[in-house]
Structure formats: C-alpha cells, structure tokens
Amino acid sequence: MATDFRNEPFTDFTRPENAEKMRAAIEKVRGQLGQTYPLIIGGREITTAATMLESTNPANPSQVVGRFPNATVEQANEAIEAADEAFKTWSRVPAKERADLVFRVADILRQRKFELSAWLIFEVSKSWAEADADIAELIDFAEYYARQMLKLAGPQEVVPYPGEKPELRYIPLGVGAVIPPWNFAGAIMGGMTLATIVAGNTAVLKPASTSPTIAAQFMRILMEAGLPDGVVNFLTGPGGAIGDALVDHPRTRFIAFTGSKEIGMRIFERASKVHPGQIWLKRTILEMGGKDSIVVDETADLDAAADGITASAFGFQGQKCSACSRAIIVDSVYDKVLEKVVERTKKLTMGDPTDPANYMGAVIDDKAFKKITDYIKIGSKEGKLVLGGETSDGKNGYFIPPTIIKDVAPDARISQEEIFGPVLAFIKAKDFDEALQIANNTEFGLTGSVYSKDRSRLDRAKDEFHVGNLYLNRKCTGALVGVHPFGGFNMSGTDSKAGGPDYLLLFTQAKSISEKVGP
Ligand code: NAP
C-alpha cells in the first residue's frame, strides 16, 4: 500500500506565481474575517447561544477571525447522541466508500491549499511556510489513512485450520470525542478526525478555542465531499466547560486527544470511570507535551547542528510539541555552537505573518504570552540571558523575540517544564555520555536529535535516547506522514504513532470469525 503514497510537496514561494496565489488567498480570507459559524449537530446548524467565542488574530488581537457559539453541556450530550445514531449506518458503509470519501476530501484540500493556509496565518500566526506545511500534512493524513483503511479492510493473515475458514476483520469502535490542539490546527485537527471516520467511527469534533475557524472550514469540506449528517458533529466552546461532558458520556467509546500533559492526564483519569449505562472500557489515544533536546558532540558538523537547533527552537515561535527547547552541548564545542546559534537567531525576522518577510509570528494568545514571559524571568535567574527576553505589553500582538538562555542546569525548571514558546536553554555536558544522560532526564519522551560523526555514538543513541521520534544529524521538528510516524513516550502520550502503519488499529477492534466448512 504505502508504495503509491507520496508526501504532498511544500509550496515553493520563491516562484512568483505561488507567491501571487498566496497573496490573493490572504486578501480573500481577510475579506471573510469575523463571520459567525454554527455548531453542527446531526446535520443541524445552530448559530445562537447565550455566549459566543471569538477567535482572534494573535498578531493583531483586536481582529476577530471567527465567532462561534459556546456550546452547552446539553449540546455536548446531544452531539454524542447524534454521533451514536449516525454510527448505526456509517459503521456499515463499506471501507472502500469511506476511503473514497476521504480521498475526495484530500482533493478538495489540495484545491484550497492556499486559502486554508491563509486561515492559519490569520488564526494562529503561522508564517507562509509553516501554514503551507500544516495543510500539506493534513492532505498527507487524508491520503495515508484512506490507504491504510483499504489495507486494513483486506484479508488479514490468520493460520489455516482444517475444516474451518477463519478470518480476522477490523471493525469500528463507536463514537469518538476528537479533541485537538491549536498548534497544528489543520493537520492534527483534521488528521484525528479523518482517522476516526475512515475507520467507520463517528465523531464529535471539539476544536481548540483559539483555532475553531480552520476547523469550521474543514467541516465544510467534509460536507462538500458528501459526509452524511451526524458522522462528524462540530462543537465549539471552552474545553473546561464541555470537555468533561464529552469524555464522561456513557456512549463515548474513545477519546482522541492531542494537547497538554495536564489535560491529557485529566482525560485519562476521567475516561477510566465506567458510568451508568456504559458497556465498555473507553479507549484513550492521548498525545501530550514534550521537552525536546538536541545533543551535539565534538565530532559534529557544528554549522549543520546550529542550523538544526535554530530551526527546531524558533520555527512557529517554538510552539511545536517537537520544538527543541534544550540544546545539550559537550563542553569542548559549547561556546562555538552557542555563538553560531546566536548568530543565526539574530537574523530571524518577527512580525505580522501575512508578510512573508517574517519568519516568526506571534504566540497564540495572552495566556501563552504571560506564561512564556514568566518562564523567561525564571530562566534568566536560572541561567544567563544571551539573546531576546525583551517583553512588551502584548497589546499590539503577542510577539516574543527568540530567547536564548545559557548555562542552564539540567534540573532547572526551564530544563524540565514545557514552555511552548521561543525559549531555548543551553546546557553544558562534560562529554557525550553525560549529554545522553541529560537528554533522558525529563518526564517526557517525544522528539530528540543527535549531531555527531561518530558511528558508535549514533548507534548508542538509537538504543539509549528514549524518545518516540529520534533524529540523527537533522533537526528534531518536521516529521513527515508515513516517513516519520509521530508520537512520544512517557508523559508525551500513550505511545501511538500518528501517520504510521499501526495508527488505525487504535481506532478499530479486531473481530475473529471462523466458519466450519468441512469435517
Ligand atoms: P490544551 O490546552 O491541553 O488543549 C488541547 C485541547 O483540549 C483543546 O481543544 C482544549 O480546548 C481541550 N480541553 C481543555 N480542557 C479540557 C477538558 N477539561 N476536557 C477535555 N478537553 C479539554 O493544549 P493546547 O494548548 O491546545 O496545545 C498545546 C499542547 O499540545 C502542548 O503541550 C504540546 O506539546 C501538545 N501537542 C502534542 C503533540 C503530540 O503529538 N504529542 C502535538 C501537538 C501538540 P480549549 O482550547 O477550548 O481549552
């Protein structure tokens, strides 16, 4: 199967025709900002609510990107019940038809690529290239999971037995609560939803409150592709108010969540309780935070390492679960690597990402702005501030310059806690052994990379660096669907691999059937 899958190419914006298309898409989307979108429950659109949620542009907080009803707990329950009703028919739709629908979704996404990227630029402050990569990943998820489903629906290997015809089928689970984060507001939101439905399940999609508009655009595409009513129900509102209802409902069969460790743990605990009327143990697919390291030893290509650290730490303002927030450098090259990273970081541009000259946009919202600036203050006491650190009041956009803090202890708070912003700690190790030890000293285990030319050390890292996504002599961000199945260990999640060959198994259950055919 995977043979005919190809990753969606990234758009080359140095080509004038592509830059022109992007500019036109930005202007088109600018003209559509501030609209009101409905909740969609069982195909019914509901636009009125006691209170509304406003998604705003992080680079220009007074600009409203979209308005959404804040759903009530009753509506959350209704959405699960609508999905439960739709499951009766959708679960019987042949896998080929479900996969065809998802292929159609991929086609529409491809046609609207520039426009969808533009929504991400306004809603979550991605640069042109980051937005384009997010939508390319969403297209990849559609193409990849549809193919995976076809494979899973085909004959499965069972051991022959005389007189019987055994078979193994992967059947859907039921209703999934799909709860994505805002940082890959296209790819993760759409990827978890598509995995859910292509496997024959139905969903309640509750997007992050800072990125509901891209999810509303995606919903429209699902409907345009012919998705029957009730298969995906669209519910907006604060997770703190309606999340528990989605997780707790006795007809919820599984929860597909990506987000912080704190919310992931809450869902894990709540999902373990069996409620009256519930006849299954809920499955949880929980992808959580990271505290990712790049290790550099004295044999490494230091320029390549500095490029990798800079891109991994500051791309999308450091707001990737895979972002490098710890550069662990062996003593003898520590100063050199630091100098090279500082030199490269000083050249990074920051500002309104509708302008392609800006490499970095704003951080997502006022809460993130405060949290990150607080961590910079903490870090400046824990180590020495080398670059960045200037804070503003955030009123003209939540901009935080790329910040580097050196001589940070391996157990300092900024070495251990996920900041989720453009803050990079430099940590000195006396040698490679110690560097590897430090790299493994957090509760997380998501991504990591090692720059070295020493084969035996690279091999040791393969065995000993305990992360779900390990990279050797390349940056620790930018996982590609199918190429780098993605997901972490320990407190980074439930060890699943999005965009990998076994991901859909998490959304299905195996049924063993055997018919007596002979004596
Ligand atoms: P978050 O605050 O945990 O929110 C994630 C989602 O959970 C949002 O849709 C949120 O809704 C919802 N939520 C909030 N409270 C809830 C509750 N009580 N019950 C159910 N759902 C609830 O995370 P985030 O800030 O959006 O995302 C950043 C985090 O995601 C980082 O920690 C990052 O490392 C992690 N991440 C991990 C991966 C991975 O693959 N491991 C990938 C990307 C991101 P509201 O927005 O309405 O609060």
Angle, CA of 40, 271 and 73, to the nearest 5°: 35
Which residues have CB under 8 Å from 197's CB, separation 6+? Answer: 90, 98, 101, 102, 203, 227, 231, 232
Residue 506 CA to ligand 1 center (angstroms) comes to 20
Q: Give how far Cα 73 sits from Cα of 193, 239, 272, Å.
A: 21, 11, 20
DSSP H stretches of helix in 417-469:
432-439, 455-464
335-352 pLDDT per residue, tens: 999 999 999 999 999 999
pLDDT tens digits, 140-152: 999 999 999 999 9
pTM of the predicted model over 0.85 = yes
CA distances, 509 to each of 174, 301, 411, 485, 506 (Å) = 10, 47, 42, 21, 8
Distance 261 CA to ligand 1 centre (A): 8
For ligand 1, whether the C-beta of 176 sits within 6 Å is no
Ligand 1 atom with the shortest distance to the CA of 181: 26
Q: Work out which ligand 1 atom sits closest to the CA atom of 184.
A: 43
CB of 287 sitting under 6 A from ligand 1 = yes
Q: How confident is the model at residue 3 (pLDDT cuts 50, 70, 90)?
A: low
Determine whether the shortest distance from the Cβ of 260 to ligand 1 is under 6 A. yes
Tell whether ligand 1 has an atom less than 6 A from the beta carbon of residue 492. yes
Q: How many residues does the chain have?
A: 519
- What is d(CA 506, CA 276) in angstroms, rounded to the nearest whole number? 25
Instruction: Report whether residue 208 contacts ligand 1, using a CB cutoff of 6 Å.
Output: yes
Tell me the C-alpha to C-alpha distance, in Å, between residue 380 and each of 326, 375, 399, 408. Answer: 15, 8, 18, 9
Task: Kindly report, residue by residue over 83-104, the tens digit of the pLDDT.
Answer: 999 999 999 999 999 999 999 9
Per-residue pLDDT reduced to its tens digit, 248-293? 999 999 999 999 999 999 999 999 999 999 999 999 999 999 999 9
Q: What mean pLDDT is predicted for residues 63-81?
A: 98
Question: CA 139: distance to chain centroid?
Answer: 14
* Residues annotated as part of the active site: 287, 321
Residue 2 has pLDDT above 60, yes or no: no
CA atoms of 205 and 210, how far apart (whole Å)? 14
Q: At what angle do helices 128-153 and 113-124 cross, to 10 degrees?
A: 120
Quote the ligand 1 centre to 336 CA distance (angstroms): 37
pLDDT at site 395? 79
Q: How far is CA 447 from the centre of its chain?
A: 13
Please tell me the distance between residue 491's alpha carbon and the centre of ligand 1 in angstroms.
Answer: 14
Contact 127, 116 (CB under 8 A): no
- Cβ–ligand 1 distance for 259 under 6 Å, the answer yes
What are the backbone angles phi and psi of residue 309, rounded to the nearest 5°? -65, -45
CA distance 38 to 47: 4
pLDDT at 1 over 50: no
Identify residue 160 by its one-letter amino acid code. Answer: P
Pick the residue whose CA is nearest to atom 19 on ligand 1.
243
Coil, strand or helix at 339: helix
CA–CA distance, 450 with 435 (Å, rounded to integer): 10
